[in-house]
Amino acid sequence: MEMTLLIIAITALVSWRAFDNPRLLDRLMLWPVMVVRRKQYARLLTHGFVHADWMHLIFNMVTLYFFGRQIEQIFGGGLTGAAGFAFFYLSAIVMAGLPACIKQRQNPNYRSLGASGGTSAVLFAYILFSPWSKLVIFPIPFPIPAIVFAVLYVAYSIWMERHGRDNVAHGAHLAGAAYGVMFMLLTQPGLAGHFLREIGF
């Protein structure tokens, strides 16, 4: 739980500083051309610590607060658990950014930012453990089962990635969610069986 709060604090501080500092924002966001041509590989991680505006930041950090604490507890207590959760979350940001970095490597106009890839990984990891828990997701006016949300989330992200024009990196959401699922299935023995039993198989 302490690592989740620490990540939120650092992300909020860096994002806040970057709101009024275009040079800092430009240096930290994911810019595939600079990653490939200038070998600025740190951007694959640092883009998860800057956001477009307060609403973008708050949405991601609220998601991380509610679900990150649950997943951090699964990793265990003490330094080992905190380090395990930190590795999971930070590696999810990197992995979520890779598809766009590869796809847009020749596009100098493409840039992206935000922790959505990491928070998607955390959220989908939580869904594996508790698929029928009720989630309240804005703007849906009523709670829905986590597993139903997951299906809708994936379908919406796939459609928007192919047809959307909203400048949101929906591919990063998908990649983060997929990474979260795969990471947990590989590192948590018995989780696949637990999930299947929970959904009735």
**Tokens found for residue 37:** 């041509």
Q: Is 198 exposed, middle or buried (0-12, 13-18, 19+ CB in 10 A)?
A: middle
Per-residue pLDDT averaged across 77-102, rounded? 92
Examine the pLDDT at 36 and tell me if it is beyond 90.
Answer: yes
Phi, psi of 135 (to 5 degrees): -115, 140
Please write the tens of the pLDDT for every residue from 14-35.
999 999 999 999 999 999 999 9
Residues 6+ apart with CB under 8 A from 60: 11, 51, 114, 115, 116, 119
| pTM score of the predicted model | 0.92
Residue 102: the pLDDT is 92
**Tokens found for residue 124:** 């989908």
> What percent of the chain has a predicted confidence (pLDDT) above 90?
76
Answer whether the bond into residue 139 is a cis peptide, omega within 30°.
Answer: yes
Query: CA neighbours within 13 Å on the CB side: how many for 37?
Result: 9
CA 176/CA 160 separation, integer angstroms: 16
Examine the pLDDT at 167 and tell me if it is beyond 80.
Answer: no
Residue 171: the pLDDT is 80
Q: Which amino acid is at 114?
A: G
Under the banding of pLDDT at 50, 70 and 90, the label for residue 164 is: low
Residue 161: the pLDDT is 74
DSSP 77: S
Spatial contact of 71 and 125, defined as CB atoms under 8 Å apart: yes
Burial readout 108-146 (b: 16 or more C-beta within 10 A, e: otherwise): eebbbbbbbbbbbbbbbbbbbbbbeeebeeeeeeeeebb
